[in-house]
Structure 1
Amino acid sequence: MIDFAGLRDRWRRYDVVVRDLLFALLLTGLALVPDWHRHGTRLADAVPARPFDGWGVLIVVVECLPLAVRRIRPTICLALVFAGFAADQLSGYNTLGGTALPVALISVGLHADRHRRAIVVAATAAFLALAVVLGRVGQLGPDVVALFYLVLGSMWVVGATLRRSRLAELDHRRHLADAARAAERTRIARELHDVVTHHVTAMVVQAEAARYLTGAPDRLDEALAAISDTGRQAVTDLRHVLDLLDPGHGGELQALVERTRRAGQPVELVEQGSLPEAAGSAVATVYRVAQEALTNALKHDHGARTSVTVRYRPEEIDMRISTDGSGAGAGSAGGSGRGLTGLRDRVGTLGGDFSAGPLAGGGFLVTARIPTGVAS
């Protein structure tokens, strides 16, 4: 049975240019099919048709291949596609490559972050200039110009509408992330209260009792040892809570892995790419996923070879944490507790994907895709 979800996840891990290049190549190939020449958009009827030749191939390439950068360089993509479209119309090839122009307009309406009004003005001026030139060399009425401009303008509107929807979704995710952080702070505050109340109260009681044991040295030593043990446990618990308050980023992840190694777990950490500057709460979630997964590895597959792979992308962070099942306790049902359930909810709140479960050959696997909230 084909694992479509797995194929989709692997496809999404490719760079966005690689993904868009596939569509650009497909459209280029369709436009170069001989039987489909001169079956594309034709604005001016009287422009003399020209036999398809090497210049036609070059025009199709300029018209279609820039779609590979339509998301990372939408303005450049539109400029190149329009240049190819204009050459196509003026040469009389009228190939299917003209389909790239609506796609480029949708893309620039969706992905262009700056100078959006200037882009609209420049695109309108370029189209009107093309219409004037075509009107001189062929037959192009104002009704055709107006209709085609409305069609192209609607493509921009579609992209702009999708952009507004995406920004609204990102804003909604930020609100959810803020709510999740507020709930996390409340939980941590309760943990701090419990740690301080329990351990410090116990130390005070033990210290008060020790005052009356000066005549019994053996019992006094026991009381002082109990106070010392309680204090060390309090420090340990407080450090754990403070780690949750300030998980940091890559450096803290390295420290987490190093602590796990010292606890007897051979962990290999691989980080790919650069952490986005505006990753926000995704950074804390990355730390929590690694912390929970490594804690489960220590409990349920202690001593097993463990790998932690973190791949940073502009729009998301991918994580994969696994053990090979060679450690002590590997047969127990690790990773089924409330910690992983809470992480699944936390990652889902950010709009990501989370999975955890045993591997067929032994060991355990945790994967997470955590959106950063940075539009690409």
Structure 2
Amino acid sequence: MARWNALGVLVRDGVFTLALTPLVFAPATAHLSAEFGDLAKRSPDLPGVLVTLALWLPLVVRRRWPGVCLALVAAAFAVHQLAAFPATFASVGLYIALYSVGAHGRRVDGPRLVLVSAAAIALFALFALGLHHRGSPQRASDFLLILLVLVCCWAAGRAVQARQAGEEERRRLSVAAATAQERARIARELHDVVTHHVTAMTVQADAALFLLADAPDQVANGLGAIGDSGRHALADLRQLLGVLQASGGDPSAAELPGDTSAAEPALAPGRLGELVERTRAAGQPVELTRTGERPTMASGVELAAYRVVQEGLTNALKHAPGHRTLVTVRYAHDELEVAVTTEGAPAVPAATGTGPLGRGGGLGLVGLRERVAVFGGELLAGARPDGGFSVSARIPAGDDGVRLGGRPTPAGEQAIPARRHA
């Protein structure tokens, strides 16, 4: 089938037309002809054979050049009827040519459609007058009915063209939406990667300058941590750029929201520990606690939880350097809960789009909210009663997008509810 489609419409139409050519000369199919004049028929002869071929063979180009096909077939049909050649199945080619103009011809609207319609009606009127002059028994009402039949053939093709155009537009819009969603997802990934690693490198460099004269060993450790952060940042950026190169710029290759399997490998539990270790190497006192048995879950869920912890630690480095930070991961049979709490830190505005975390065109906590919402989860962020700040998320362990029931919001926290994505 693929080889057949690869031949092109001209070759395919040519094969069908030539394969059916014997039918136009078969006596058994003569009664299926299109007869408008009902004139007394002349005996078969060579001119009749040539006109019959002229009625049928132009269908080879009915999809490639539908206007040319209709012009040739209509002229041959007029000659066939006016000259009273024997009835032939080839006269049905007029109906096929009219349908092809509607289905495959260039769309004509407005004043041009009016002009074309007027010209077609005028030519048909001349044709009807010619048949009447030749002694056709058809009346004006009969010719009007014939004209309506011809218009219906063209209208059927026009309706098919409109339906195909609508389907193509829907596919284009679907691809455009998927492309926009993929770009937004990659933008969030880049924000998470660059913000975390660059923040850690900045804090480590500042600490190294401060300790340069008094503690050279600690400076060496700090510089090593800067190198590690840089290498991790480059690895993550290479992975994201690899996603862009793999798509080859083809919008149809864009992933749907929540489908991160092609962009990120499944996150091993150790990667969260590596993230905590890198943050601790930057000078931030971080403790990691895990409870429960890790269930089987989609890689996108683990990636979302990883990004929540990454964003929380980045905010701690930015706004509360040196303050004790707790990372808690709780596994349940049907959900995953992560929380990053910084003790005694200055209150940081929640992600409203105006504070430090909301800056960046919808990234930061706003981007995390969208990421968590894809899986039917819930993100909470806000100041703690002791002056600290907490970011936590509850995400269903599966990827079915079923939102879990909410829990009471602690004092000072702002609930960022999930939005159901179709």
Q: TM-score, normalised by structure 2?
A: 0.51
- The reply on whether 1:156 has 2:154 as its aligned counterpart is yes
Contact kept, 8 Å, 1:31 with 1:96, in 2: the verdict is yes
Identical columns (%): 40
**Which amino acid is 1:56 matched to?**
G
- The reply on whether 1:285 has 2:278 as its aligned counterpart is no
**Which amino acid is 2:49 matched to?**
V
For 1:258, the equivalent position in structure 2 comes to none
Q: Which moved more, 1:230-239 or 1:44-53?
A: 230-239
Cα deviation digits, residues 155-174 of structure 1 (max 9, x gap): 11111222222222223223
For 2:133, the equivalent position in structure 1 comes to 136
Contact kept, 8 Å, 2:175 with 2:252, in 1: the verdict is no
**Which amino acid is 2:72 matched to?**
L
For 2:223, the equivalent position in structure 1 comes to 224
Contact kept, 8 Å, 1:203 with 1:230, in 2: the verdict is yes
Contact kept, 8 Å, 1:27 with 1:97, in 2: the verdict is no
Cα deviation digits, residues 171-218 of structure 1 (max 9, x gap): 322332232123212211221122113321332243245343666767
For 1:83, the equivalent position in structure 2 comes to 75
- The reply on whether 1:60 has 2:58 as its aligned counterpart is no
List aligned pairs for 1:36-75, cutoff 5 A.
Answer: 36-37=29-30, 40-53=33-46, 55-75=47-67
Q: 1:223 to 1:14 in 2, by over 3 A?
A: farther
Local SS of the residue matching 2:155: helix
Cα shift at 1:229:
4.7
Cα shift at 1:22:
2.8
2:170 pairs with 147, 169, 172, which one?
172
List aligned pairs for 1:351-366, cutoff 5 A.
Answer: none
Cα shift at 1:154:
0.8
Greater share of helix:
1
For 1:125, the equivalent position in structure 2 comes to 122
Contact kept, 8 Å, 1:25 with 1:64, in 2: the verdict is no
- The reply on whether 1:98 has 2:91 as its aligned counterpart is yes
Unmatched 5+ residue regions in structure 1? Answer: 1-6, 254-281, 289-294, 297-336, 339-376
Cα shift at 1:47:
3.9
Cα deviation digits, residues 77-123 of structure 1 (max 9, x gap): 11111122222222323210111111111111122225451443333
Q: What is the Cα-based RMSD across aligned positions, in Å?
A: 3.4
2:195 pairs with 184, 189, 197, which one?
197
Q: 1:236 to 1:31 in 2, by over 3 A?
A: same
**Which amino acid is 2:21 matched to?**
T
Q: 1: CA distance between counterparts of 2:225 and 2:51?
A: 83
Q: 1:121 to 1:229 in 2, by over 3 A?
A: farther
Unmatched 5+ residue regions in structure 2? Answer: 256-261, 264-298, 301-422
Local SS of the residue matching 1:145: helix
For 1:29, the equivalent position in structure 2 comes to 22
Local SS of the residue matching 1:125: helix
For 1:332, the equivalent position in structure 2 comes to none
**Greater RCO (CA < 8 Å, at least 6 residues apart):** 1
Cα shift at 1:146:
1.3
Q: 1:25 to 1:226 in 2, by over 3 A?
A: farther
Q: TM-score, normalised by structure 1?
A: 0.57
Q: 2: CA distance between counterparts of 1:90 and 1:161?
A: 32
Higher Rg: 2
Matched positions, count: 252
Q: 1: CA distance between counterparts of 2:224 and 2:50?
A: 84
Cα shift at 1:152:
0.7
